[in-house]
Structure formats: structure tokens, C-alpha cells
């Protein structure tokens, strides 16, 4: 009975803590990666693909950027660069709530984004002036024709190696593990089974 519980614990533990799962890299090719789940981190180990590595904003927020490294026999990393690239919204055509709008009638005017950091726009509101006016507006008063692009993060390495196969290791925030317990009775002997679910 104790041996069965021990073997079941090892099986569940092995399945949870070292797993090969297919992950998508940014070029949408499936890559098999090892994922090791610890109490507060998950380590993702996969073959190094094309450099630079590319991450979306959503993925980047889950990654410990100081943990991205290359692993291999005699790998000597001489430089690592992390770059954030975001398409500027400056000079983009947007719609903003007109200053002459009332509580009962909302009017939107076409405007040009001048400074996205301050939400400064240039527009012509004939009810106010025939000349362009510049306004700083609240972000919830800006309407975009299309979804604004999110930042992308790029990690590049300069390295020397004699080894052909190099892998990349990344630490990410761990998945939420919740423990639940069930009891099963077999031949009038009680057996407790541990189940873990990953969210």
C-alpha cells in the first residue's frame, strides 16, 4: 500500500515537474521544449532557433528577462542585447471626443496623434476655430481605427562555441498549482490519491 502511494507520488511528481510540451515560437513553427515546474518558477528549455528571439508583450511580462541564457558544451556568450520595439502612434489618424460635445450628444472628430506619451492630438473643430488646435485628451477619449500595436521584445546573443546543438533556457512565472485530494476505497482498504491541477 505504501509502495503504491510512493510510486503514484513519483509518477505524478514526474509528470508535473519535467514535461515535454510543444510550444510555439514566434515564427509559428512547433518546437518541443522541456518545461520544469518549480514552486514559483517554470523553466523552459528548448533548442535555439533563429536569432534574435522574439517575444510579445504578454509573453515578456511572464518572463524573468535576466534568466534568458544559452546552454551548450563550451558556449561562451560574449554579448546579450535586449531590445523593445514598438510602432509609434505619432502621426496616426485617430478620433477624439470633441471639446464641444455635450452630455447628451457625443461628437467625435478626426485628429492626428502628435505625442502618444502625453495623448496630445491636433484637430480642427469648426465650432471652436478654423485653425488646427492642439489638445491633451484622456486615453479613454481616443478611438482608433485599428488596434494599436503592442511592443515586441527581442533578445540577441553573440557567442562562440564548438558545439552544434545549443539550447536556450528561460525562467517564467510558474503556473498556478492547486492541490485537491480524493479518497478511493479498494477491497475495503483506504487509499488516498493526490491530484494536482495546473492552471
DSSP 176: P
- If you average pLDDT over residues 127-145, what whole number do you get? 87
Task: Find where cell 561562451 sits.
Answer: 76
Please tell me the least confidently modeled range out of 38-47, 136-145, 163-172. 163-172
Residue 36 has pLDDT above 90, yes or no: no
- If you average pLDDT over residues 139-156, what whole number do you get? 89
Residues 17, 35 contacting (CB under 8 angstroms):
no
The string of pLDDT tens digits covering residues 56-88 is 999 899 998 889 999 888 888 999 999 999 888
Quote the CA–CA distance of 145 and 94 in Å, as a whole number.
Answer: 7
DSSP 127: T
Residue 32 has pLDDT above 60, yes or no: yes
Per domain, the residue ranges of the chain are 2-86+150-198, 93-144
Sign of CA dihedral 21, 44, 165, 84: positive
Mean pLDDT for the chain overall: 75
Q: What is the DSSP string of 55-124?
A: EEHHHHHHB-GGG-EEESTT-EEEEEEEEEE----TT-EEEEE-TT--SS---EEEEEEEETTTTEEEE-
pLDDT of the residue at 68: 93
Which burial class, exposed, middle or buried, applies to 8 when counting CB atoms under 10 A from its CB (0-12, 13-18, 19+)? Answer: middle
For residues 8 and 192, the model is more confident at 192
- If you average pLDDT over residues 9-21, what whole number do you get? 40
Residue 117 has pLDDT above 60, yes or no: yes
Amino acid at each position: 500500500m505504501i509502495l503504491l502511494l510512493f510510486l503514484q507520488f513519483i509518477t505524478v511528481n514526474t509528470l508535473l515537474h519535467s514535461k515535454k510540451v510543444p510550444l510555439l515560437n514566434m515564427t509559428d513553427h512547433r518546437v518541443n521544449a522541456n518545461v520544469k515546474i518549480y514552486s514559483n518558477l517554470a523553466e523552459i528549455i528548448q533548442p535555439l532557433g533563429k536569432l534574435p528571439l522574439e517575444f510579445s508583450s504578454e509573453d515578456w511580462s511572464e518572463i524573468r528577462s535576466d534568466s534568458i541564457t544559452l546552454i551548450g558544451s563550451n558556449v561562451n556568450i560574449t554579448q546579450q542585447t535586449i531590445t523593445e520595439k514598438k510602432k509609434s502612434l505619432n502621426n496616426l489618424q485617430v478620433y477624439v471626443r470633441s471639446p464641444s460635445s455635450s452630455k447628451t450628444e457625443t461628437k467625435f472628430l478626426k485628429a492626428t496623434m502628435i505625442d502618444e506619451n502625453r495623448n496630445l492630438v491636433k484637430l480642427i473643430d469648426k465650432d471652436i476655430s478654423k485653425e488646427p488646435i492642439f489638445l491633451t485628451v484622456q486615453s479613454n477619449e481616443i478611438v482608433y481605427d485599428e488596434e494599436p500595436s503592442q511592443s515586441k521584445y527581442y533578445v540577441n546573443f553573440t557567442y562562440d562555441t564548438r558545439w552544434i546543438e545549443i539550447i536556450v533556457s528561460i525562467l517564467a512565472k510558474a503556473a498556478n498549482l492547486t492541490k485537491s485530494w480524493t479518497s478511493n476505497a479498494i477491497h475495503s482498504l483506504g487509499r488516498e490519491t493526490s491530484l494536482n491541477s495546473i492552471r
